[in-house]
Amino acid sequence: MPPVTVADLSHHSSDSILADPRFPEARRIYVDAIVRLYENEPMLNRLMHEAGRMAIFFVVMCLNARYDPADRASWPTVGRVKKALGRFQAASQRRIDDIVGRLVSTGYLRLDMVGGDRRVRIVKPTDAMLAHDQDWMVAHYAPLAHMFPGSDYALPLRRDPRFQTAQRLASLDILDWSARIMADNSGMALFLDRAAGALILTKLVQLMDQDRGGLVPDLAYADIGPRFGVSRTHVRTLLQDAERRDLAELSGRGSQQVRLMPSLIASYDRFVAEGMSSHDLTCRMALAELGTT
């Protein structure tokens, strides 16, 4: 049977997701899930600190889903990882080597030689990385399950390993779309490019949602930084840069009140909705490959 392609299946678009009255609650589910997954988890923060590491995580999982030891063209070598990452423009060649090395040292990746040939290294996820990928899927499919209760997201929510492989194969087919989600959202660029930036922004959105005035009240840099493995100076600099770009408004000293500007909230919502749309599509592609649709 030929592989299922994007053209074969309909899916929920990001525009329809943003327009749905259930989106605010779905966003809250997503935000809470991401914060639970990463807050006060230094090992995981090292894995997902910035866009370059997130892209490497994603690409390695996708390439390994297609890995066939008997087919050399499918081998997820360091070179193929670098080539695929070129679409994301998230890290230089040297930076990729650096990040891969750190992920190996923290137990999320391993480099396997093929037949004793040191020139060929296969990049493989460890059990810890596979388990984290399943947690990642739960965080991304739970909001969809809330918005579209008639759709079938049971397998990713159960952390089914067969679905995991099929979904990552499908994700490989839409790699260019995934790269555009990160590249085309200029409002998110500042946070995606900084260490823990996307996680800090997600925490700020969570705190903002808890305040009726739309403020992040009394934010202590010394408190939020360690939650995501960065210094208070790093958090302060990030938010000051956001203010200079008219993405946030700061007031107070020491403990800051932070107002996220409407343009930044719109960019964040678009980022979340694009991710939900792509996960909805890859779920449908994966289920079709598994013969469960």
Q: What is the pLDDT of residue 3?
A: 53
Residue 251 pLDDT exceeds 90 = no
In this structure, how many other beta carbons lie within 10 angstroms of the beta carbon of residue 104?
14
Using the Cα atoms of residue 209, residue 211, residue 215 and residue 218 in order, give the sign of their dihedral. Answer: negative
DSSP state of 4: P
* H-only helix segments in 93-212: 93-105, 127-147, 154-157, 161-173, 175-183, 186-193, 197-209
Q: What is the mean pLDDT of the chain?
A: 85
Closest by Cα among 260, 194, 203 to 233? 194
Answer with the residue of higher pLDDT: 122 or 217.
Answer: 122
At 1, is the secondary structure helix, strand, or coil? coil
Distance CA 199, CA 33 (A): 11
pLDDT in tens, 262-284: 999 999 999 999 999 999 999 99
What is the distance, to the nearest Å, from the Cα of residue 77 to the centroid of all Cα atoms in its chain? 22
Q: Percent of the chain having pLDDT more than 90?
A: 47
Residue 4 pLDDT exceeds 60 = no
Residue 121 pLDDT exceeds 90 = no
pLDDT in tens, 151-170: 899 999 999 999 999 999 99
What is the distance, to the nearest Å, from the Cα of residue 247 to the centroid of all Cα atoms in its chain? 21
Q: What is the pLDDT of residue 1?
A: 45
Where on the phi/psi map is residue 159: left (φ > 0), alpha (ψ -120 to 50), or beta? left
Distance CA 287, CA 6 (A): 13
State mean pLDDT over 237-244. 93
Q: Cβ contacts of residue 275 below 8 Å, gap of 6+?
A: 140, 181
Residue 140 pLDDT exceeds 80 = yes
Q: How confident is the model at residue 29 (pLDDT cuts 50, 70, 90)?
A: very high
Q: What is the pLDDT of residue 107?
A: 87
Q: What is the pLDDT of residue 172?
A: 85
Mean pLDDT lowest among 27-31, 53-57, 216-220: 216-220
Number of H helices, E strands in the chain: 15, 5
Residue 74 pLDDT exceeds 50 = yes
Q: Cβ contacts of residue 88 below 8 Å, gap of 6+?
A: 51, 52, 55, 59, 178, 179, 182, 183
Residue 73 pLDDT exceeds 50 = yes
Q: Are 266 and 187 in contact (CB under 8 A)?
A: yes
pTM attached to this predicted model: 0.87
Q: What is the pLDDT of residue 254?
A: 55
Q: Cβ contacts of residue 287 below 8 Å, gap of 6+?
A: 152, 155, 163, 166, 293
pLDDT in tens, 77-109: 988 888 887 766 656 777 788 888 888 888 889
Q: What is the pLDDT of residue 143?
A: 97
Distance CA 198, CA 272 (A): 11
pLDDT in tens, 174-212: 877 777 776 778 889 899 888 889 999 999 999 888 765
